[in-house]
Chain A
């Protein structure tokens, strides 16, 4: 199993739709998980952190399922401006206090009018 795995998509949804994508991870000892947003030809930017069961910020909800070792990102009431690639990131095995992250390949979301 890859350390971090995402469905690359693209997910094509109409404006106003609710969309969710998952990210599976292999390091069962991970305590923190991250979703980054990356616009085309731009740097990734931190969207949300998940440390326990989940986190919510406006239209965005991140949830953690430890038993099945995946995190999910739910976007409600999708906007055109949500179109981007969403990367999940997890500390790798043995990363200790280094701050290292392993990134998934990203899931591309395209919101259509």
Chain B
């Protein structure tokens, strides 16, 4: 049982390049989330999904796009990378959206540097 798997673990991008951060979970969780964490800061929600085919913006969606064609996969797309997108990106999943029951399972993160 792999949990939440993120690839790649590290990446250096040049300004203006694009890339897709991959996130896959094998727990049949409907709820998935993308967060970014800047040094010394908490996690900021970029996008989230409550099920296949359903996505919505979080706190900081600008410069990113997502899709959710299957329950397992929730890729995050960066278009026209900017230095401000240098961060650690975490994907997370949850079995439920009920506030009383959930806790997230996080992937190990992708460290992205834009130069």
Contact = CB atoms under 8 A, between A and B. Distances in A.
A15 B26 CA distance: 39
B68 to A, nearest CB: 14
B103 A105 contact: no
A34 B94 CA distance: 14
A4 B94 CA distance: 21
A42 B98 CA distance: 26
A45 interface: yes
Interface residues of B, number: 28
A69 interface: no
Contacts of A6: 42
Contact of A32 (B40, B59, B94, B100): B100
Contacts of B44: 103
B41 A105 contact: yes
A46 B3 CA distance: 14
Contact of B48 (A8, A98, A104): A98
Interface of B: 31, 33, 35, 40-45, 48, 50, 56, 58-59, 90, 94, 96-100, 102-104, 106-109
